[in-house]
């Protein structure tokens, strides 16, 4: 029996196409009826209604036939595109879906204008690639490009029904040809002297043949681009789409075939194959790991070794893997291998390197091993790097070497090799046929000279996917109008705390001041302590362009001499920054405590404060220590410092970890902004003081928002590391006759405190640095999607981020949740949608991780600049890790880490004996263990301009037969053992 009738109406929306009249006058209805069974088993009749209209404008500015005017700039009346010898007359371009997907770099070039994007094409692009779809929408919105979106699927004369036996692909191809024909006939009716033609661009051979048969002017993208007389360089940006089948006959086959998606999906379902994310190795181009998706405990991480098994997967692709038989399993290699072969076909060299991997494998180290059988989703992006110019004279084919060592080299065709040599360029991958050792790609953009500070900073930001373009007008339009002042309306739900003696303590030169503190004695003898945080969520309202941009950026990124703000400067350095002697809006967390730092009461309120002093850590420390100073600010600081020490002791007694990582600070030349000095950062008592109260505020807020919103609280957790992570730490300590217990954070913290050696004071810091390396990453999550909230490093059952909303988007969400919880602001749907919050957390975790990597890369680049001017130096170092053919050392004076290799190209190889149990490496007759003290020579190796690196060579102990650099001219003063410095784990 039939249930209800469901009507599904498809109506033309104005999209990027024309504005449509609201009357249904020009509308006509086509409908299809079919039966559908619901989940409950009832049969319903579905009538799909599709409205057609004849008032959709063609978009041509000169057209008087279309009643409605196109939205936006539309197509130019006199198309002034690039001059083409194939189409000398005025013309518009109309590309098909594949051309838009694969040749987007060409279409984005300023030379290409007046392009008609059909609704059919736009919908297909949207379904197949979200990034390309966004780029196409941006071009349609850009008035200078004159791209016009035509709603052909709702135009009475261009809509077509799917014919019997015709698949949807062929139907769409036909719809595109119908639209081209309609345009050409329509434009002829304009009867103006221009006589504009519409040129159909397609790389599909069949579609092009059919178009030509139907009298349509059609070209491939390559034919059209090569016909542009004034723009020969554009040819370089053509995506290289090869017909794989044809090439195979001629070429040597390097790789097995990829299985089709349908087979992969069946195999994954039946458990023959595993699906996971492919992670290439930075150190060894013949090895990768695949992180398997899903919750299975075993085979979580699968090793892939050797070119054929890697089978053309690229870092971050989603792949299908087949596990090999156990007798074919391998161990993660400790060998460092870079792809430096000059000849593409040098397979013997590859095989020799693969054999090195298999040699001397410890049977206990074998791990699940597999091979890539197919690609589920490519995760290609544009890559930065440099051209390795071919040795062949006049050659057009060259190899491009990406800056990221995890990405394979890419073969591109270019006529501008001479110009591009020594430049940083961007290249996109187009495909990777079986008969090609490297993927094929095309040139996208030149960034500038390699080694230039601006170019290298741009590369660093692009490679770490840091959004850094200036804020758009749409975003800036949501900023408050200046001059800004606090109004009566702002005071509605706020407490006036301007009378309190509040002050801020930050690093020198800090302009984005997120937090301020106060401490005063109450009449009852207890203490009142307040943490006041910038009220950023007052200025950034949910869902507007400013909010969306901040959410996308996720975090402010601090490079050595540049800050990429998450929010525009008017907020970050002015209206939200809690500067001294100005009224500012804040969100306050206020406790009543006794003198033992026990919390008696907690309250949260939106407030107005007026900070009495903006101090640096050093200035605050000086006030606390100076007996002659007894003003209100200093008294407040002393009270805070006293309580902070008690809070810290309680936390450590509770099992919180105090870890260490060497952080460096550059002293810049005021004129050139080049680094002139480099030293490890000194941490003062006041750093710890501020940190204790920030931790306390974060924990108090976490508890409050979780109590109010058990399903929607945005929290931060730090998972306990799997026991195997600690192997290296335990072995290293054992080699120095120390015991490190790792069964709980408390046991670890206590054994680290006991691991002292009077003869070797720096040992404890080294152990803490090594412990940091064993840790997992802390992550944001939504409380309704997880049940493990524990923060291992802080030994806290619950934690979040509340104290830095100017530089972290997570804190803005936490502020909004807290404001709703105390009735100071209203909620909105996304705030209580746990799936939306989980997606947001995923982006925030990604952005934070990339920001961290970008910051490290910036330090590495500035360290290279420093040694470029300083020349060679000899310094004391300690061994952090022992590898099969190298040692990794840390130089405390500079907080610098580097690798000392014992095998050099074209030199006699020394006798190496690696023992993974200790671990130790014996070179000739000298044995190296973790934490041994050595002396190394440091210099900048600029032989590879793209991968300039700090080269370290062993000076002491001397190894017979090894060349040691002569005493460098700039002998650095031998530093004393640095004081034991401890730094908090990055929470």
Residue with tokens 């990055």: 986
| Nearby residues of 11 by Cβ (< 8 Å), 6 or more positions away | 51, 154
Burial of 416: CB neighbours in 10 Å, binned 0-12, 13-18, 19+: middle
User: Any idea what DSSP says for residue 807?
Assistant: T
| Nearby residues of 176 by Cβ (< 8 Å), 6 or more positions away | 94, 96, 118, 120, 121, 200, 207
527 vs 593: CA distance, rounded Å: 5
| Average pLDDT value for the chain | 82
Task: Tell which residue, 630, 519, 494, 510, has the closest CA to residue 577.
Answer: 510
| pLDDT score of 357 | 60
Cβ(834)–Cβ(782) below 8 Å: yes
Cβ(401)–Cβ(384) below 8 Å: no
Confidence at 250, pLDDT banded by 50, 70, 90: very low
Mean pLDDT of the 259-288 span: 89
pTM: 0.76
Residues β-bridged to residue 889: 879, 898
Task: Tell which residue, 337, 334, 262, 273, has the closest CA to residue 302.
Answer: 273
How far from 712 is each of 348, 552, 554, 591, 698, CA to CA, in Å?
57, 20, 19, 25, 16
Lowest-pLDDT choice from 79-93, 276-290, 569-583, 776-790: 79-93
DSSP string of 369-436, one letter each residue: EEEEEEEEE-----EEEEEE--SSTT--EEEEEESSTTSPPEEEE-S-HHHHTTEEEEEEEEE--TT-
Of 755 and 275, which is predicted with more confidence? 275
| pLDDT score of 20 | 38
Mean pLDDT of the 241-264 span: 69
Q: How many CB atoms lie within 10 A of CB 403?
A: 19
Six-digit token pair at 777? 């990453």
Confidence at 73, pLDDT banded by 50, 70, 90: low
Confidence at 297, pLDDT banded by 50, 70, 90: low
| pLDDT score of 836 | 92
Query: H helices of 822-945, where?
Result: 834-870
Extended strands (E) in 464-525:
494-496, 503-506, 515-521
Confidence at 575, pLDDT banded by 50, 70, 90: very high
Q: Residues, the chain, total? A: 987
Cβ(934)–Cβ(885) below 8 Å: no
| Nearby residues of 606 by Cβ (< 8 Å), 6 or more positions away | 493, 494, 495, 535, 538, 585, 586, 587, 588, 819, 822, 824
Q: What are phi and psi of 273, to 5 degrees?
A: -115, 160
Mean pLDDT of the 924-938 span: 85
Confidence at 762, pLDDT banded by 50, 70, 90: confident
**The pLDDT of residue 554 is above 70:** yes
**What kind and span of H or E run contains 172?**
helix 168-188
865 vs 97: CA distance, rounded Å: 47
523 vs 529: CA distance, rounded Å: 14
Q: Measured in Å, how far apart are the chain's first and last C-alpha atoms?
A: 62
Task: Tell which residue, 696, 720, 856, 701, has the closest CA to residue 792.
Answer: 720
**The pLDDT of residue 279 is above 60:** yes
| pLDDT score of 755 | 77
Residues β-bridged to residue 591: 529, 602
- Per-residue exposure over 449-478, b if at least 16 CB sit within 10 Å of its own CB, e if not: ebbebebbbbbbbbbbebebeebeeebeee
Residue with tokens 């944001």: 780
Residue with tokens 């967390």: 589
Q: Most distant CA pair in the chain: distance in Å?
A: 96
862 vs 867: CA distance, rounded Å: 9
| Nearby residues of 773 by Cβ (< 8 Å), 6 or more positions away | 728
Burial of 665: CB neighbours in 10 Å, binned 0-12, 13-18, 19+: middle
Cβ(934)–Cβ(889) below 8 Å: yes
Write out pLDDT tens, residues 352-410. Answer: 666 666 655 556 678 889 999 999 988 888 899 998 877 777 677 888 989 888 999 99
Extended strands (E) in 559-653:
563-564, 583-593, 599-610, 613-616
Of 580 and 509, which is predicted with more confidence? 580
42 vs 30: CA distance, rounded Å: 26
Q: Report helix angle 809-821 to 834-870, nearest 10.
A: 140
Lowest-pLDDT choice from 204-218, 398-412, 675-689, 900-914: 675-689
Confidence at 987, pLDDT banded by 50, 70, 90: very low
| pLDDT score of 26 | 52
Q: What are phi and psi of 888, to 5 degrees?
A: -105, 125
**The pLDDT of residue 648 is above 50:** yes
Write out pLDDT tens, residues 301-332. Answer: 889 988 889 999 999 899 999 989 888 888 87
**The pLDDT of residue 15 is above 70:** no
- SS3 call for 972: coil
Six-digit token pair at 334? 């400790």
Cβ(721)–Cβ(743) below 8 Å: no
| pLDDT score of 4 | 53
Task: Tell which residue, 813, 536, 538, has the closest CA to residue 702.
Answer: 813
Confidence at 28, pLDDT banded by 50, 70, 90: low
Percent of the chain at pLDDT above 90? Answer: 32
- SS3 call for 543: coil
Mean pLDDT of the 759-787 span: 84
Q: Report helix angle 130-141 to 119-128, nearest 10.
A: 140
Percent of the chain at pLDDT above 70? Answer: 84
**The pLDDT of residue 187 is above 70:** yes
713 vs 701: CA distance, rounded Å: 10
Structural Rg of the chain based on CA atoms: 32
């Amino acid at each position: 029996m039939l249930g209800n009738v469901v009507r599904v109406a498809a109506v033309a929306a104005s999209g990027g196409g024309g504005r449509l009249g609201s009357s249904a006058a020009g509308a006509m209805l086509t409908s299809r009826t079919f039966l559908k069974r619901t989940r409950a088993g009832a049969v319903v009749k579905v009538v799909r209604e599709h409205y057609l209209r004849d008032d959709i404008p063609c978009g041509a500015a000169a057209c008087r036939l279309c009643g409605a005017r196109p939205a936006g700039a539309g197509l130019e009346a006199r198309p002034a595109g690039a001059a083409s010898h194939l189409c000398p007359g005025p013309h518009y371009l109309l590309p098909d879906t594949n051309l838009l997907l694969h040749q987007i770099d060409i279409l984005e070039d300023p030379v290409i204008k007046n392009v008609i994007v059909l609704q059919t094409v736009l919908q297909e692009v949207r379904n197949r690639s979200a990034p390309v779809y966004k780029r196409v929408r941006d071009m349609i919105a850009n008035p200078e490009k004159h791209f016009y979106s035509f709603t052909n699927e709702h135009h009475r004369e261009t809509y077509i029904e799917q014919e019997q036996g015709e698949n949807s692909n062929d139907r769409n191809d036909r719809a595109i040809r119908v639209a081209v024909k309609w345009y050409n006939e329509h434009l002829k009716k304009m009867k103006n002297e221009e006589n504009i033609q519409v040129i159909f661009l397609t790389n599909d051979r069949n579609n092009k043949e059919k178009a030509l048969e139907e009298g349509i002017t059609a070209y491939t993208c390559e034919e059209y681009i090569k016909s542009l007389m004034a723009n020969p360089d554009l040819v370089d940006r053509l995506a290289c789409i090869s017909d794989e089948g044809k090439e195979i006959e001629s070429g040597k086959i390097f790789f097995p075939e990829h299985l089709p998606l349908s087979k992969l999906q069946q195999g994954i379902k039946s458990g023959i194959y595993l699906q996971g994310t492919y992670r290439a190795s930075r150190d060894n181009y013949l090895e990768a790991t695949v992180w398997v998706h899903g919750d299975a405990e075993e085979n979580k991480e699968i090793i892939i070794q050797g070119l054929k098994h890697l089978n053309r997967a690229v870092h971050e692709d989603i792949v299908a893997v087949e596990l090999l038989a156990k007798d074919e399993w391998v161990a993660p290699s400790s060998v460092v291998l870079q792809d430096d072969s000059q000849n593409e076909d040098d397979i013997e060299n590859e095989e020799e390197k693969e054999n090195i991997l298999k040699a001397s494998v410890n049977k206990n180290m074998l791990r699940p091993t597999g091979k890539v059988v197919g690609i589920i989703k490519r995760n290609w992006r544009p890559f930065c790097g440099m051209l390795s110019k071919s040795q062949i004279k006049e050659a057009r084919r060259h190899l491009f070497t990406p800056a990221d060592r995890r990405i394979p080299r890419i073969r591109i065709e270019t006529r501008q090799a001479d110009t591009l040599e020594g430049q940083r360029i961007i290249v996109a991958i187009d495909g990777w046929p079986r008969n090609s050792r490297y993927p094929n790609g095309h040139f996208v953009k030149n960034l500038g000279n390699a080694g230039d500070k601006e170019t290298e900073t741009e590369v660093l930001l692009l490679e770490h996917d840091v959004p850094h373009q200036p804020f758009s007008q749409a975003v800036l339009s949501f900023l408050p109008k200046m001059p800004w002042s606090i109004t009566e309306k702002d005071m509605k739900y706020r407490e006036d705390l301007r009378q309190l003696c509040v002050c801020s303590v930050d690093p020198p030169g800090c302009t984005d001041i997120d937090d301020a503190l106060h401490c005063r004695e109450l009449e009852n003898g207890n203490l009142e302590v307040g943490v006041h945080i910038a009220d950023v969520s007052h200025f950034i309202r949910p869902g507007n362009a400013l909010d969306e941009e901040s959410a996308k950026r996720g975090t402010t990124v601090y490079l050595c001499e540049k800050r990429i703000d998450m929010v525009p400067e008017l907020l970050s350095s002015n209206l939200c920054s809690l500067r001294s002697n100005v009224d500012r809006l804040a969100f306050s967390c206020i406790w009543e405590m006794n003198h033992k730092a026990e919390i008696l009461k907690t309250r949260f309120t939106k407030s107005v404060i007026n900070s009495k002093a903006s101090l640096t850590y050093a200035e605050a420390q000086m006030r606390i220590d100076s007996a002659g100073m007894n003003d209100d600010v200093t008294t407040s600081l002393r009270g805070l410092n006293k309580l902070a020490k008690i809070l810290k002791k309680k936390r450590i007694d509770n099992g919180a970890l105090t870890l260490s990582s060497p952080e460096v600070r550059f002293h810049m030349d005021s004129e050139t902004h080049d680094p002139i000095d480099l030293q490890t950062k000194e941490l003062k008592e006041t750093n710890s003081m501020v940190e204790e109260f920030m931790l306390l505020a974060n924990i108090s807020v976490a508890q409050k928002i979780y109590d109010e919103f058990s399903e929607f609280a945005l929290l931060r957790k730090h998972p306990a590391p799997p026991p195997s992570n600690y192997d290296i730490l335990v072995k290293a300590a054992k080699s120095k006759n120390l015991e490190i217990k790792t069964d709980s954070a408390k046991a670890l913290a206590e054994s680290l405190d006991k691991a002292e050696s009077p003869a070797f004071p720096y040992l404890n810091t080294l152990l803490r640095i090594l412990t940091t390396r064993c840790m997992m990453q802390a992550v944001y999550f939504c409380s309704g999607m997880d049940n493990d909230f524990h923060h291992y490093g802080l030994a806290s059952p619950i934690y979040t981020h509340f104290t830095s909303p100017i530089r972290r988007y997570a804190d803005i969400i936490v502020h909004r949740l807290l404001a709703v919880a105390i009735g100071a602001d209203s909620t909105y749907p996304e705030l209580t949608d746990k799936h939306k919050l989980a997606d947001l957390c995923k982006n925030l975790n990604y952005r934070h991780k990339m920001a961290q990597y970008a910051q490290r890369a910036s330090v590495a680049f500035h360290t290279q600049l420093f040694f470029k001017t300083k020349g060679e130096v000899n310094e004391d170092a300690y061994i952090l890790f022992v590898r099969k053919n190298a040692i990794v050392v840390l130089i405390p004076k500079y907080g610098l880490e580097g690798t000392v290799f014992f095998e050099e190209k074209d030199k006699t190889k020394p006798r190496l004996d690696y023992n993974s149990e200790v671990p130790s490496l014996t070179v000739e007759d000298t044995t190296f263990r973790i934490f041994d003290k050595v002396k190394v020579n440091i210099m900048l190796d600029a032989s590879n301009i793209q991968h300039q690196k700090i080269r370290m060579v062993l000076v002491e102990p001397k190894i017979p037969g090894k060349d040691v650099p002569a005493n460098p001219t700039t002998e650095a003063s031998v530093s004393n053992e640095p004081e034991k410095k401890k730094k908090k784990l990055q929470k």
